[in-house]
Amino acid sequence: MSSVTKSYANAIFEILDDNIKKERVNKEFKYFSDLLKENKELSELLLNPTIQDGPKKEVLMEIFNKLRFTSQSKKSILHILEAKRLDLFKEISDILSKLVDDSLSRQDVYVITARKLSKLALSPVIKEIENHLKDKKINYIYQIDEKIIGGVIVKINNSIYDYSIKKSLETIKNAV
């Protein structure tokens, strides 16, 4: 995480004066970040230093208008383009997302299991997470990974709590 990306994310966050704008711009930044990742032609066009900003802005304005982006998102993304920092957009978007989540006391929690489990089966895990994150609004993101065989892996920020059978087997293997 560079100081440049933090500066951009902080500046964008500071102009968002209410929670509705924070939510909306955050969603738009995530969407645009995903669009850059998935659409190689668009990404190559926007990152190509031999193409002037004029045609790039025209393409962006067409996208913004079709997607009905807010003026804050439009202005911010165009500024990032003009500053030749669009290659840092994903990181700027990720930092902005963290700032918005923190300001709204929201926390993403990834719950990874080998197969889809019912709420009842996950209730002890969910109860423990909620005890750990008492003051946060938790957004659970459920994922399936058959490689873990069984059990559960919980990811909160940069912390990973691995209670999978795969991890237990690896621990036993390393001990032998």
Q: Please check the confidence at residue 158 and state whether its pLDDT lies above 90.
A: no
Q: For residue 117, what pLDDT is reported?
A: 92
Domain identity same for 12 and 89 = yes
Q: What percent of the chain has pLDDT over 70?
A: 99
Two structure tokens written together for 63:
């996208």
Q: In whole numbers, what is the pLDDT of the chain averaged over residues?
A: 94
Summarize pLDDT for 105-120 with one digit per residue, the tens: 999 999 999 999 998 9
pLDDT at residue 1 greater than cutoff 80: no
Q: Are residues 89 and 147 in the same domain?
A: no
Residues 127, 140, single domain; the answer is yes
Torsion, Cα 44 89 76 66, to 10 degrees, reads 50
Of 82, 103, 124, the position where a domain reaches its end is 103
Residue-level pLDDT at 157: 86
Alpha-carbon distance of 63 to 155, in angstroms, equals 34
119 lies in the same domain as 60? no
For the entire predicted model, the pTM comes to: 0.74
Q: Give the chain's domain count.
A: 2
Question: Stretch 17-40: mean pLDDT, rounded?
Answer: 96
The rounded distance, in Å, linking the Cα atoms of 54 and 61 is 11
Domain that holds residue 51: 3-103
Tokens of 33: 């970040």
Domain limit, last residue, from 54, 77, 103:
103
- Residue 39's CATH number: 1.10.520
Mean pLDDT computed over 148-162 = 93
Do 40 and 94 share a domain, yes or no?
yes
Q: How many residues does the chain have?
A: 176
